[in-house]
A and B are shown apart, each in its own frame.
Chain A
Amino acid sequence: MNKYFGRYLQRICFTLLMICALAFSSFAQNQPEMADVMRSNGKIYVVVTVCLVILIGLFLYVWRIDRKISKLEKNA
């Protein structure tokens, strides 16, 4: 069971890597610029990443408060 799963995972990873490589190589043929994701489309992906970091940070914070309150509730 585990072996099969591992083989599947390998295949999926390999396919994804091939797709990525193809995508990037086609970019590279057109322009000299190194066009990876974070630099494309007017750098909007940078903004998305920044917002996601803030959102994840906020949620981790609220989640920690939640856990602390749960602990207090158990002790009280």
Chain B
Amino acid sequence: MRKSWWKILSFLLLVYTIIAGFLADVPRLFILNETIRNLYFHVCMWMGMMVLFTLSIIYSIKYLGKNDYRYDIYAKNYASVGVLFGLLGYATGAIWANYTWVTDQGQSLGAVLKEPKLIGAAIAVLIYGAYFVLRGSFIDMDKRARVSAVYNIFAFAMLFPSIWIIPRLVGSLHPGAPGSDSGNPALNYKDIDSRLRMVFYPAIIGWTLLGVWISTLKIRLELMKEKSLLHE
């Protein structure tokens, strides 16, 4: 175990998230009912994904500056765990939407399929999927590292319009759209109850640290595998 205090912190925060997340008092809202507790799980996946993608782009930029192959490995693995978190966020969101938008709000399938937040999130995750396709298509190592580092910057930049901006400009069922009178539904103080925040913020930190931990494991394995290349 290396530098393990934050791994223990992650564990403790997630234990707290599950206990308080299921048992603590939450606001009583129509349609949402108890599913408001998904805030501690579904939303945290996206927050964790953003942090992991941010780490990934930082290492991509570092690679472009220093040409150290190590940074390329960092960037790749942070991005891959970020995509995993994104897919988990998408899957959990689909379940949540099924029981709130479709069943209880009576939205048609057409309305859900037109949902800009879903389309935007799908585009964002697919762009990162293309990052791995791009990586796989190079034989030359240096070229792969350089081109995919540049592409990673583009992919990160595309996150903002597709997830954060466009769904907030057009009509959307997802919280945060115009009409639901809120900016960022997760971070707006007027929108989110203080009881929710007590669990929500620790949950974000806990899930994110877990993602970082898994990424570092992947990175360390790959660094060992590529040892011959790194020390030439």
Residues of A within 8 A of B (CB): 44-45, 47-48, 51-52, 55-56, 59, 62-63, 65-67, 69-70, 72-73, 76
- Measured in the bound complex, the distance between the Cα atoms of B216 and A69 in whole Å is 11
* Interface hub of A45, A65, A67, A70 (most chain B Cβ within 10 A): A65
Number of chain B residues whose Cβ lies closer than 8 Å to a Cβ of chain A: 18
Question: Contact at A63–B7, with CB atoms within 8 Å?
Answer: yes
In the complex, chain B residues whose CB is within 8 Å of the CB of A63: 1, 7
* Contact mask for chain B residues 150-177; partner A; CB cutoff 8 A; 1 contact, 0 none: 0000000000000000000000000000
B132 at the A/B interface (Cβ < 8 Å)? no
Given contacts A66-B7, A66-B213, A76-B224, 5 further A-B contacts (CB under 8 A): A45-B23, A48-B19, A55-B15, A66-B2, A70-B2
Question: Contact at A52–B18, with CB atoms within 8 Å?
Answer: yes
Question: Contact at B22–A48, with CB atoms within 8 Å?
Answer: yes
Residues of B within 8 A of A (CB): 1-2, 7, 11, 14-15, 18-19, 22-23, 210, 213-214, 217, 220-221, 224, 227
A-B contact pairs, 7 of them (CB 8 A): A44-B22, A48-B22, A52-B19, A62-B213, A66-B217, A69-B220, A73-B220
Tally the A-B contacts, defined by beta carbons under 8 Å. 44
In the complex, chain A residues whose CB is within 8 Å of the CB of B221: 69
Main secondary structure on chain A at its contact with chain B?
Answer: helix
- Measured in the bound complex, the distance between the Cα atoms of B7 and A56 in whole Å is 13
- Chain A residue, CB-CB nearest to B4: A66
Question: Contact at A52–B224, with CB atoms within 8 Å?
Answer: no
- Chain B residue, CB-CB nearest to A69: B220
Question: Contact at B214–A62, with CB atoms within 8 Å?
Answer: yes
